[in-house]
Chains A and B, each alone.
Chain A
Amino acid sequence: MAALRADFTLPLRFFELELALEVDRTVALVGPSGAGKTSVLRAIAGLVRPPRGRIALGDELWLDSERRLFRKPDERRVGLVFQEYALFPHLTVRQNVAYAGKERAGEYLERFRISHLADVRPTALSGGERQRVALARALARGPGLILLDEPLSALDAHTKGTVRAELQELLHELALPTILVSHDFEDAAALADQVGVIVDGRLRQFASPSELVDRPADPFVASFTGANLLRGKARRLDDDMTLIQLDTGELVYSTDWGEGEVGVVVYPWEVSVGRLHQQDSAMNLIRGEIRSVVAVGNRVRVRVGPITAEVTTSSAEKLELARGGTAFATFKATGTRLVPLA
């Protein structure tokens, strides 16, 4: 399998996209909207021409600004699935899939379980069906690289889970270098081996999903991965302990090293919630008003003062957590990470 090597700069409206990537399996680019994620895909597909850089899939050179080499999109073996799928509305499902390659259209209709929809036009399809058509169409070309632009964002929450599992399996089966773009860290973590966090056109951190959670490089990465970020001033106590005075007044201990202005990173699943103040091994305790209680799947996200905790539905019921009450949020000093604040 040929890996993709891309290293280029591309001026966008408000900033310059600057990126170096090597992709041999599934990489997710995540970040806020307007960070330049889609432009990365456009540049790699050849829909825009970066003024400087080099893009190659294995030994096929697609862009080399020094040699003034630029291959047009139709000359790159790339399968791009657009955010809203961009299916041709005037063609049937079969014609859409056959657009790139007639020979294998039937095979892909079978593979994506859309044979029964072959003579239907895309406007009559559900979101999940459209995505399968878009994937079949992109793969019928026989690409050496797959690009997915927000593959799950056009789907409703109900379909999303199933489609995500299917996509996961497909990407694993295909074993092609893949770049997917997402604004949702959870989707990215579920689908990709490596995640790049991109903000204002730059990669902030490139690591495995678990590494991003364990060792966020900066406050943005931390909050993006779903962590709590509490701002405060850090002071070393001894070799293994740092004391942080939060901006909201509370004192928090961390086994991580930090000095001066820091962000304390705590993941919601590291935080327990109780109604009574009780002694346990957790060093950190924050007392606060319950500001919100939101069910997310089989868990409940509870906001206690400045911190969000994630508890099981049953314990939320047992504790009778409701908005307006008071609760204690506790977490271990070892469950915290400190990131320097700019």
Chain B
Amino acid sequence: MRRALLALAYFLASGVALAFLVLPIVAIFVHVSPGRLIDQLSNPVVRDALVVSLKTTLIAQVLVLGFGTPTAYLLASRRFPGRSLCVTLVELPLVLPPAVAGIGLLVAFGRFGLLGGALRSVGITLPFTQAAVTIAVAFVSSPLYVRQAIAAFEAVDPNLVAASRTLGAGPARTFFRVVLPLARGGLGAGEALAFARGLGEFGATIMFAGSLQGVTQTLPLAIYAQFEVNLDVTLAISALLVLISLALLISLKLASLWPWQPSEQTSRSRFGSLSWS
């Protein structure tokens, strides 16, 4: 009897939890008819926001991959004083409230910010431009990628790196032929998370870049801007973002099924990590 009650309690609790999580998503799609949702997508506000979002997020992700990958590899493969501090600094934007990140970016790169004068002297004004959106997106999404990338690189058996070197491959060839292919599942997962976070960025962007349609107004900013103008448009954008997020989540799950995950690598033995002196 008590067992049956307990089972019922579990069942009820998980039912409530799942319904709670799914209901808002469902509501977006059922509030108005699918036909009207699709019609709204041709609204110029939506089109402009989509272009701004895709452009800034893609450029931001190129920056995150380009700078984040070597940073993660350095932090994963070398032990040096201050390493933990570096890892913590890299993770900082993850716990920082987005509005704080926005203010920080403003007083760092803004017209009267720390680097504002230097930037202005070479003719660059960042705030309220598309570059500012890109910077805000890169700032908040980078830790999701770098954290995952550090873990992925650390999971590569150091013996394989050592083996590559004794087989005549230099550090670069070793990285591209051994480390990167073995870490790519984890790197892909990290990148998918960072992309999703970047696409949904709101707080830092609105502080640092504003919300100018066609210039800095991304999809989430357009939702906010259209909220009191046209609810159907906000719902259409929301539905669009749900679908993109869902696609990313599925690709993330698929990435984790990638054939040679760390568990399949040969087990570690006494060769430690290789120093790159």
User: Hey, which bits of chain A sit against chain B, CB under 8 A?
Assistant: 38, 42, 45-49, 70, 72-74, 76, 78-80, 82-90, 99-101, 122-123, 137-138, 141, 149
Given A38-B270, A48-B275, A49-B275, A89-B168 contact (CB < 8 Å): no
Instruction: Tell me whether A89 and B260 are in contact (CB under 8 A).
Output: yes
A97 nearest CB across to chain B (Å): 10
B151 near A: Cβ within 8 Å? no
Contact between chains at A141 and B168 (CB < 8 Å)? yes
Interface residue from B157, B165, B168 paired with A47 (Cβ < 8 Å): B165
Number of interface residues of B (CB under 8 A): 28
Contact of A85 among B166, B169, B178, B266 (CB under 8 A): B266
**Are B269 and A137 interface neighbours, CB within 8 A?**
no
Contact: A84 with B267, CB < 8 Å? yes
Please list the 7 inter-chain residue pairs (A to B) with the smallest Cβ-Cβ separation, ordered nearest first: A73-B165, A100-B167, A86-B163, A86-B159, A80-B166, A90-B260, A73-B166
- Could you tell me the distance in whole angstroms from the C-beta of A51 to the nearest C-beta in chain B? 12
Checking B167, B269, B275 against A99 with a beta-carbon cut-off of 8 angstroms, the contacting residue is B167
Quick check: A86 and B165 within 8 Å, CB to CB? no
Interface presence of B77 (CB below 8 A): no
**From residue B115, how far is it (CB to closest CB) to chain A in Å?**
39
Q: Which residue of A lies closest to B169 (CB)?
A: A74
- Some 13 contacts from A to B, beta carbons below 8 A apart, are A47-B162, A72-B165, A72-B170, A74-B168, A74-B169, A82-B159, A83-B270, A85-B266, A86-B162, A88-B163, A89-B182, A89-B266, A122-B266
* Contact yes or no, B266 A141, CB < 8 A: no
Closest B residue by C-beta to A75 = B168
A87 and B266 within 8 A (CB): yes
Task: Find the residue from A46, A87, A90, A141 having the highest chain B CB count within 10 A.
Answer: A90
Q: Which residues of B contact A85 (CB under 8 A)?
A: 266
Shortest Cβ distance from A138 into chain B, in angstroms? 8
Residues from 251 to 270 in B contacting A, C-beta threshold 8 Å: 259-260, 264-267, 269-270
CA of A74 to CA of B166, assembled, Å: 5
231-277 of chain B: CB within 8 A of chain A? 259-260, 264-267, 269-271, 274-275, 277
Instruction: Give the shortest distance, in Å, between A30 (CB) and chain B (any CB).
Output: 16
Q: Which residues of chain B are near A122, meaning CB under 8 Å? A: 266
B265 and A141 contacting across the interface, CB-CB below 8 Å: no
